[in-house]
Structure 1
Amino acid sequence: MLKRLQAESAAFRDCKPLALKIDASILERFPEFDRKSLRTALRIHTASTRYLKAVERSAERFDLDGKPVGEVTAEQRTHATTTLKERFAAVARQQREQREAEEAERRRDEKLRQLVNKFGR
């Protein structure tokens, strides 16, 4: 569904901030789409890092044809910025924890090797 929207819609292809209530326009243009599946697809699209960065930088929202139809409010830009910061912080925290776990494993292996060398004679 998202691939088709990207192929046939400038707003999706260029990952521009979407007009509010765009789901009605999509269902009008693509009546074969299921409403529930569309909402899931929109959630995936609008939660993507690329989309959030676009909302963070843009002042306008766009319809399916890529024409401006509204504005991105300061509150919406702030929400996108906050979400991105939290996402990046979580990734950094996971990477740090992974490095710490690998370092602890390396130290444990080194200690075991030293004990084997000392008492394995």
Structure 2
Amino acid sequence: MLKQLQQQFPAFRDCLPLAIGIDKQLLAQMPDLNRKAMRAALGIHTGSMRYLRAMEKAKLRYNLDGSPGAEVTDTHRQHAKELLQERFKKEAERKKAERDAAAAEEANRQRQEKLNALAAKFSRN
């Protein structure tokens, strides 16, 4: 559904900050639209890094056709900024955990090699 919205509407295609109530505009233009699927598509779109980056710097919101709408409030810009910071922090934590796990695995491998070398050295053949 998101692909369809991106193909059909400039505001989605260009990842512009969407007007508040864009769901009502969508339903007016596409009355057969499944509301649940539409809300899921909107959630994916507005939660994307690209959209949040656009919101963080935006001054205006846009209607489906790409025409300017209301202004983006400082509160909404700040919210987008906080979501981005949260994501960057989680990503950094995930990468650190991966590095730590890889380092622990390497340390275990080296310890096992040393134990095997000692066992081979002192074993009675």
TM-score, structure 1 as length reference: 0.97
Distance 1:73 1:120 in 2: 70
List runs of 5+ in structure 2 lacking aligned partners: none
Partner-residue secondary structure (3-state), 1:32:
coil
Partner-residue secondary structure (3-state), 2:33:
coil
Q: RMSD value over aligned CA atoms?
A: 0.7
Match of 1:67 in 2: 67
Find out whether 1:90 has 2:90 as its counterpart.
yes
Match of 2:54 in 1: 54
Distance 1:104 1:10 in 2: 49
The number of aligned residues is 121
Match of 2:100 in 1: 100
TM-score, structure 2 as length reference: 0.94
List runs of 5+ in structure 1 lacking aligned partners: none
Partner-residue secondary structure (3-state), 2:105:
helix
Match of 1:2 in 2: 2
Distance 1:8 1:25 in 2: 13
Match of 1:43 in 2: 43
Q: Which runs of 4+ in 1 moved over 6 A?
A: none
Residue 91 of structure 1 aligns with an amino acid whose one-letter code is: E
Match of 2:15 in 1: 15
Aligned-pair CA distance for 1:21: 0.6
Aligned-pair CA distance for 1:120: 2.1
Aligned-pair CA distance for 1:102: 0.3
Partner-residue secondary structure (3-state), 2:70:
strand
Partner-residue secondary structure (3-state), 1:33:
coil
Distance 1:46 1:25 in 2: 16
